[in-house]
Structure 1
């Protein structure tokens, strides 16, 4: 009987210990369900119905979205923006993290200075960019001063370059801090042993730093991908609902469909976008998992 009571008390204690984390997560889970999961389920349901008649139309909304020329342009620009920006951001932020890690003094000041762009309100950034990139802005005044022709930065192919610059400028400090956290977690003993064996700095970087940064690389890549969708705010406030076609993104398209009350197209497009993003993250996780195993 005593053994049975002890086993019951032990099992009860373990069950309580398992419940404690869930009790802390429960408020967040409830709020996420109310504001994210349940609305998304409703979006998936609406994507199979007509917004006007409420009739079930099957995959008709998805076919209409995939055949829409504006959707094709926005999807192409979004993919191009992602493929260009994320590798540039990862490489540049890693270089900055390595440089700051090599500096022995005033690391905190440097890290804080690179995080300042994230604390600047979007409206202030937009005003700053208009001062620089307007047709009669600061950059064109400099070009005119040296005898070069003016560039319509926001209404030409240069608008894509401006958008890339905006994204990298605002997110490079955040990614740099994430890289630094991964670099500082690597044991200094590994570098000391490699130095004693005659390895130079480049060999230490390839054989020690990069392999140990694989988990950090996955985190930084996913967060950079998610943050790339936030650049729409700057693009919208600078160039409006219909910017130059080189920076017409999926968020512009969804915003325009929303103002026109094309709810069925918007829902179908949102589901397609969600499936694509989740698939990309799943593929990245699978690739990094295989990299860690090997």
Structure 2
């Protein structure tokens, strides 16, 4: 606790604290502006110019992006992927967190084990995909030996569900740790008081656990949404720049436009994606504030 001298005004002390905090944050804020804020503003500027970047084109690049068939396919696939993966991941990770809390109520040391899937290198994940889902991989070998027909996982609609399973498996441990942190923040006295009043396990979960986890839900949902765009690395290394239509995501489209140096249209698509993500995050926060 800071002891104030009698001859030092409180306003002067606050000014010194604010000045010290400003200089402490200055290097980080400078890095954020140089590598994130200024490049984003330049991206917005480029989206209103032609390919050369000299002639003002208005909203022509945005119209070209929205009417592009590849962009429409990638947007639908990405929205479908997020709409399926995020609810599955949130629900499964919450269930596992509740189970782990019952099994290891004080097991904070083993939480790091849950993060092992995220620490696996992408090259190892790709090798695992090839071993399991190749046309002559382990799963197809087992299917043929059992008398069933082999499935071309990466060249059919099954590729989408392979991608969904990979994303959920890789992120469920991380989300579970976040749920466990939220569960640790709930006071045990609330459960004890509810038990004294005759509340059962379901009533405690419904009226104590779920309302107390609403702030954690928002954080986990937003982090899971952002992490869903990282699954592109595995899909790209396995299926290349032009995979099956079911797993052709926005990341594939952006990568192909970047390779073709279609920078203006790429910038317009990036701005649109940023706006959509901003709206989604704001809706999540508004929903959580209404529930709080």
Q: TM-score, normalised by structure 1?
A: 0.94
* Paired residues for 1:78-157 under 5 Å: 78-104=78-104, 107-108=107-108, 110-157=110-157
Please report how far the alpha carbon of residue 67 of structure 1 lies from its aligned counterpart in structure 2 after TM superposition.
0.3
Where does the alignment leave 5 or more consecutive residues of structure 1 unmatched?
Answer: none
Q: Structure 2 CA distance, aligned partners of 1:53 and 1:233?
A: 30
Residues 100 and 110, structure 1, Cα contact 8 Å, conserved in 2 = no
Residue matched to 1:163: 163
Q: Structure 2 CA distance, aligned partners of 1:128 and 1:47?
A: 39
Residue matched to 1:29: 29
* Paired residues for 1:257-272 under 5 Å: 257-272=257-272
Residue matched to 2:226: 226
Aligned residues: 288
Please report how far the alpha carbon of residue 105 of structure 1 lies from its aligned counterpart in structure 2 after TM superposition.
6.7
User: 1:58-99 CA distances to partner (integer Å, 9 max, x unpaired)?
Assistant: 000000000000000000000000000000000000000000
Q: Structure 1 CA distance, aligned partners of 2:177 and 2:38?
A: 34
CA distance 1:278–1:53, change in 2 (3 Å)? closer
SS of corresponding position for 1:243:
coil
Residue matched to 1:40: 40
Q: 91-100 or 143-152: which moved more?
A: 143-152
Where does the alignment leave 5 or more consecutive residues of structure 2 unmatched?
Answer: none
User: 1:44-69 CA distances to partner (integer Å, 9 max, x unpaired)?
Assistant: 00000002362001000000000000
Residues 214 and 288, structure 2, Cα contact 8 Å, conserved in 1 = yes
Q: Structure 1 CA distance, aligned partners of 2:132 and 2:153?
A: 9
Q: Structure 1 CA distance, aligned partners of 2:14 and 2:168?
A: 48
CA distance 1:61–1:138, change in 2 (3 Å)? same
Residues 46 and 53, structure 2, Cα contact 8 Å, conserved in 1 = no
Residue matched to 1:274: 274
The list of structure 1 runs, each at least 4 consecutive aligned residues, that deviate by more than 6 angstroms after superposition, is: 5-8
CA distance 1:67–1:277, change in 2 (3 Å)? same
Q: Structure 2 CA distance, aligned partners of 1:38 and 1:12?
A: 34
Residues 53 and 264, structure 2, Cα contact 8 Å, conserved in 1 = no
Residues 93 and 176, structure 1, Cα contact 8 Å, conserved in 2 = yes
